[in-house]
């Protein structure tokens, strides 16, 4: 009887350990899958209009235009630039590899254009003049631009502005 109790307790202990570690790794696992689907890292990807065929991220909004830049800061910092459209909702948000949203600004907070340098303390990169430095908690992550199509009549103009968003790697002097 005591032997059975030992094996039951041991099985539950294994279950608890497996549960805890798989739960901890779930966000990173899902984020990695999403980043792989987005395409080449440290490049901007302007996604088409969201439809029922869009399968990149769950529960996408059909009223928004998304541009994404998956990043890997192992070799350097990411220079993020782009024009901010006037008169409609726009935001740039940055997520770490555990899906935490560690930076967000919208069109009410940023006027004209956005200029960011996303980096880690390990990188030694000369900050471009005017760029705001943003420290990423993890080496990998994702920059996401959202632009609202407030009126279908404005679609072409809004799409043209959001396509000015760009990201490029500035290699670290140490690497």
Partner 1 sequence: MLRFLLKLLLCLIVGTALGLAATWLAVTRLNFGTVSNGPWRMSLLTGSAQSGPYLRANIARHGLLALNRSETIYYTADHDSNGEWLDGNCFYKIEGREPRARWWSITAYGDDDYLMKNKYDLWSISGETVQLRSDSTFIITASKHRAPTNWIPVTQRRFSLTLRLYNPAPGVVDDPANALVPVIKRSVCL
Can you give the binding site for partner 1, defined by CB under 8 A? 7, 10-20, 22-24, 26-27, 30-31, 34, 50-52, 54-55, 57-63, 89, 91, 93, 95, 98-102, 104, 106, 108, 137, 142, 144, 148, 150-151
Q: How far is the CB of 166 from partner 1 (least distance, A)?
A: 19
Smaller CB separation from partner 1, 55 or 129: 55
Structure tokens at 84: 């901010």
Q: How far is the CB of 26 from partner 1 (least distance, A)?
A: 4
Give the start-end residues of each E strand in 53-172.
Answer: 64-72, 76-83, 90-96, 101-106, 113-119, 132-135, 140-148, 166-171
Q: How far is the CB of 138 from partner 1 (least distance, A)?
A: 11
Q: How far is the CB of 44 from partner 1 (least distance, A)?
A: 16
The phi-psi region of residue 121 (left if phi > 0; otherwise alpha if psi is between -120 and 50; otherwise beta) is alpha
């Amino acid at each position: 009887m005591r032997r059975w109790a030992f094996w039951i307790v041991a099985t539950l202990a294994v279950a608890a350990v497996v549960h805890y570690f798989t739960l901890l790794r779930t966000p990173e696992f899902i984020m990695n899958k999403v980043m792989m689907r987005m395409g080449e890292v440290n490049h901007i990807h302007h996604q088409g209009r969201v439809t029922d065929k869009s399968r990149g991220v769950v529960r996408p909004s059909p009223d928004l235009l998304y541009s994404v830049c998956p990043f890997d800061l192992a070799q350097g910092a990411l220079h993020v630039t782009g024009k901010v459209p006037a008169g409609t909702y726009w935001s740039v948000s940055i997520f770490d590899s555990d899906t935490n949203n560690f930076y967000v600004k919208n069109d009410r907070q940023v006027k004209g254009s956005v200029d960011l340098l996303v980096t880690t303390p390990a990188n030694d990169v000369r900050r471009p003049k005017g760029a705001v430095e943003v420290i990423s908690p993890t080496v990998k992550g994702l920059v996401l631009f959202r632009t609202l199509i407030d009126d279908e009549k404005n679609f072409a103009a809004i799409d043209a502005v959001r396509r000015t968003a760009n990201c490029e790697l500035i290699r670290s002097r140490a690497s």
